Amino acid sequence: MEEKKKSPHKYVTLLVMFDAVSDPRSFRLKVSTLRVMLGTLAVVGLVLAGSLIYYFSFAYKVFYYDELERKYEKLAEDNTRIKQIEREYRKVKQENEKIRIVFGLLKNMPRDTTYEGRSTYENFTAPSEMGYYPGKDLNDPMHEKMAEDISSDVGRIGIDYLSYARVVPTLMPVNSRFIARGYQDNRYNDPSATRIHRGVDIVAEEGAPVKAASEGRVIVSEWFTDYGNTIVLYHGFGFFSVYKHLQFRLKETDDAVKTGEVIGTVGKTGRLATGIHLHFEIWRDGVPRDPATFIPQIRDALVITVKADSLAKKSS
């Protein structure tokens, strides 16, 4: 038998040069040793690569978790703000409903009906049908609380009488000498009376300017089915003035107005308007007051009984 030839590649020589002037150094390694070294390096490389992948994956998860936590905290803050806004909205809505209830602007308030076979400007239905009449309102604790909430500044000590006089509504809102219907309130004589009228119907030409009876702020500027274009002003010290059946509203809610500033025009809007006129009301401490006691022109106006449209052009 022939003897096997030995492999010529049993050893591997490596030359290493540290710099250009030094003599190279040689290392002689067995092929098997080199294979072990290369295998070890490969394993170490794989372990290192796996470790790096795991590290970066873990770092990303930590970053992502921190980001989620920040987003959660922001959402929690936003949720808190939303709840606060909802509470404020409900509070404003409740206050707005109080004002609307006081001035009869809600749908479930008494509605105008016929008077002697004809539709009047602002006749209310029988209060007994709804368990409601002005005298009862005055004795109702809820009504009293409502009045206190709306005009809490009235009873404060040290009233500034100059400011008080400035906000009392004393200006005639429309240039007119005719009243279609005056103020009627039978709460002292007959609590069950159906013929109550909490304002005055001032006859004027359609489109005539309607002026603020005193300085104040617009708290209602809306359209209502029964009353049409309606504006309510709060003057301070518990005084409110109401303007209904306007042709146009020239002021928006929260606008500040000066005495005599034009806020709208005379019209015939709303289901209950049977003639061109301005229905004008004055309220104090949540209770309707006769405008004639504050405005001499209303007290001295001519009360007419014919249809308002026929006198509208004569009023200016």
Is beta strand 287-289 parallel, antiparallel or unpaired with respect to 302-303? Answer: unpaired
Write down the architecture of domain 103-312 according to CATH: Distorted Sandwich (2.70)
pLDDT at residue 119 tops 50 = no
Residue 139 is predicted with a pLDDT of 45
Task: Report d(CA 24, CA 133) in Å as an integer.
Answer: 117
pLDDT at residue 38 tops 90 = no
Band of the pLDDT at 131, cuts 50, 70, 90?
very low
Q: Let me know: does 166 contact 212? Beta carbons within 8 Å.
A: no
Of residues 115 and 290, the one with the higher pLDDT is: 290
Of residues 107 and 62, the one with the higher pLDDT is: 62
Q: Let me know: does 163 contact 103? Beta carbons within 8 Å.
A: no
Q: Let me know: does 103 contact 242? Beta carbons within 8 Å.
A: yes
pLDDT at residue 67 tops 50 = yes
The DSSP bridge partners found for residue 232 are 220, 242
The DSSP bridge partners found for residue 28 are 13
* Burial of 87: CB neighbours in 10 Å, binned 0-12, 13-18, 19+: exposed
Structure tokens at 129: 């049908």
Q: What is the CA radius of gyration of the chain?
A: 43
Q: How many other CB atoms sit within 10 Å of the CB of residue 74?
A: 10
Of residues 3 and 39, the one with the higher pLDDT is: 39
Band of the pLDDT at 250, cuts 50, 70, 90?
very high
Residue 260 is predicted with a pLDDT of 95
Which phi-psi region, left, alpha or beta, contains residue 149 (left: φ > 0; alpha: ψ -120 to 50)?
alpha
For the stretch 140-164, pLDDT in tens is: 555 455 555 555 544 443 455 667 7
Structure tokens at 255: 């606008």
Classify the C-alpha dihedral 41-43-46-48 as positive or negative.
negative
* Residues shown for the chain: 316
* pTM (whole model) above 0.75: no
Band of the pLDDT at 39, cuts 50, 70, 90?
confident
Band of the pLDDT at 228, cuts 50, 70, 90?
very high
Run of H or E residues at 211: strand 209-211
pLDDT at residue 95 tops 80 = no
Share of the chain above pLDDT 70, in %: 67
How would DSSP label each residue in 50-100? Answer: HHHHHHHHHHHHHHHHHHHHHHHHHHHHHHHHHHHHHHHHHHHHHHHHHHH
Residue 112 is predicted with a pLDDT of 37
Task: Report d(CA 266, CA 247) in Å as an integer.
Answer: 5
What are residue 311's phi and psi, to 5 degrees? Answer: -110, 0
Of residues 31 and 107, the one with the higher pLDDT is: 31
Residue 307 is predicted with a pLDDT of 53
- Give residue 244's identity as a one-letter amino acid code: K
Place of tokens 């404060």: 156
Region of poorest pLDDT, from 56-60, 158-162, 179-183, 203-207 = 158-162
- Give residue 181's identity as a one-letter amino acid code: R
